Amino acid sequence: MIKIKIIVCIKQVPGTTEIKINPETNTLIREGIETVINAFDTYAIEEGVRLKERLLSNPETKEEVEVIAITMGPHQSESILREAISLGVDRAVLLSDRAFAGADTWATALTLQNAIKKFDDWRLVILGKQTLDGDTGQVGPELAQMFNIPFVGYASNILEINRTRMIVKRLMDDRYETFEIKLPAAISVGKEINIPRVPSLRGKLKAKNEQIPVWNKGELGLEDEKIGLSGSYTQVVKIFIPKTIHEVKMITGGPDEQAEELYGKLKELSIL
């Protein structure tokens, strides 16, 4: 019996740093672009596999751990699930349905939630800290909120884990934070947490032969108005690079005059 399931959420993104956006529809141009696993999600996969290895080496949790990768995306994203298997994930499920298209982060998280619910005994969800294309970093926190479970973003080290709780360290801009949280929980990870391994030969052979189930909206029990474009609360209206405007004014005169003028200007700009 598998008692601990670790779910790794991965997303297919364009395999290029030059992301092009269609100015009319404000959607990503995906045609003709090679796709890869979102870079941060490769750390999520590795951490899932490492946690499994760690739990397996502990006599208490031996033989009871499984790592499952899921992605919501078009049929082509099956390839990233196979890659995840070659990297040590035990099995994978593709969430795919025309009705999922156009999902914002909320609709994405809801779809992922309904998929995760179908597994018994899941104890941990690992996500990347953000994606290369959408780049919001919202899916993880939203998912945790929907499940009402703890969420630790930017986890950099899992100090301890067992069936019921874990101790996680995370890196903030100016400090480290360490949390003890109850499981089930969700975490998001970046490149601080590990160095992803190279695929194994047995993994590659398994990945090649594996049947990857596809779950559609029916299997997830989701109604049309909850998913895809219709289930999305947000819509990208416009994408642009913010302009920053600098204006420099030199103040001249004696020190008193300068101070006077500066004071007046700051007051005028309601800075003081």
Partner 1 sequence: MHYFLTEEQQMIVDICRQIVNERIIPARAENDEKGIFPADIIKEIGQSDLFRLFIPEKYGGMGTGIFEVCLATEELSRGDLSVATTYAASGLGFIPILVMGSEEQKQKYLPALASGEKLAAFGLTESEAGSDASSIRTRAVKDGDSYILNGTKQWITNGGEAEIYTIFASTNPSRGARGISAFIVEKGTPGFEFGKKENKLGIRASATRELIFIDCRIPSENMLSSEGMGFITAMRTFDQSRPAVGAQAVGVAQAALEEAVNYSKIRHQFGQPISSFQAIQHMLADMATQIEAARALVYHAAKVTDSGEKNISKLSAMSKLFASDTAMKVTIDAIQILGGYGYMKEYPVEKMMRDAKITQIYEGTNQIQKNIIALELIKRGAL
Ligand X SMILES: Cc1cc2nc3c(=O)[nH]c(=O)nc-3n(C[C@H](O)[C@H](O)[C@H](O)COP(=O)(O)OP(=O)(O)OC[C@H]3O[C@@H](n4cnc5c(N)ncnc54)[C@H](O)[C@@H]3O)c2cc1C
- For the bound state, the minimum distance from the C-beta of residue 202 to partner 1, rounded and expressed in Å, comes to 5
- For the bound state, the minimum distance from the C-beta of residue 264 to ligand X, rounded and expressed in Å, comes to 43
53, 63, 121, 135: residue in contact with ligand X (rule CB under 6 A): 135
Select from 69-77, 116-124, 160-168, 207-215 the region that touches ligand X (CB under 6 A): 69-77
C-beta of 4 vs 187, nearer to ligand X: 187
Binding site for partner 1 (CB under 8 A): 197-205, 208
Q: Hey, what are 139's tokens?
A: 């899916």
C-beta of 36 vs 56, nearer to ligand X: 36
Select from 9-17, 81-89, 149-157, 198-206 the region that touches ligand X (CB under 6 A): 9-17
Q: Which does 27 bind (CB under 5 to 8 A by kind): ligand X, partner 1, none?
A: ligand X
- Cβ contacts of 219 within 8 Å, gap of 6 or more: 118
**What angle do helix axes 78-86 and 201-209 make, rounded to 10 degrees?**
150
User: What mask of x and - would describe binding to ligand X in positions 221 to 260, judged by CB under 6 A?
Assistant: ---------------x--x---------------------
Neighbours of 272 (CB within 10 A): 10
96, 114, 131, 156: residue in contact with ligand X (rule CB under 6 A): 131
Compute the distance between CA of residue 234 and CA of residue 106 in angstroms, rounded to an integer.
Answer: 8
Select from 125-133, 159-167, 169-177, 210-218 the region that touches ligand X (CB under 6 A): 125-133
Q: Which does 139 bind (CB under 5 to 8 A by kind): partner 1, ligand X, none?
A: ligand X
Q: What would the 3-class secondary structure string for 215-233 be?
A: ECHHHHCCCHHHCCCCCCC
Pick the closest to residue 187 from 68, 4, 41 (CA basis). 41
Tokens 């780049």 found at: 135
Q: At 201, which helix (H) or strand (E)?
A: helix 201-209
- For the bound state, the minimum distance from the C-beta of residue 100 to ligand X, rounded and expressed in Å, comes to 8
User: Does 46 sit near ligand X (CB under 6 A)?
Assistant: no
Q: Which does 205 bind (CB under 5 to 8 A by kind): partner 1, ligand X, none?
A: partner 1
- For the bound state, the minimum distance from the C-beta of residue 46 to partner 1, rounded and expressed in Å, comes to 11
Torsions phi, psi for 103 (to 5 deg): -65, 140
- For the bound state, the minimum distance from the C-beta of residue 195 to partner 1, rounded and expressed in Å, comes to 9
Compute the distance between CA of residue 31 and CA of residue 26 in angstroms, rounded to an integer.
Answer: 14
Sheet holding 185-189, edge to edge: 176-182, 165-171, 151-161, 185-189, 122-128, 4-9, 65-72, 91-95, 214-215
35, 42, 105, 114: residue in contact with ligand X (rule CB under 6 A): 105
User: Does 266 sit near ligand X (CB under 6 A)?
Assistant: no
Provide the CA 181 distance to its chain's centre, in angstroms.
19
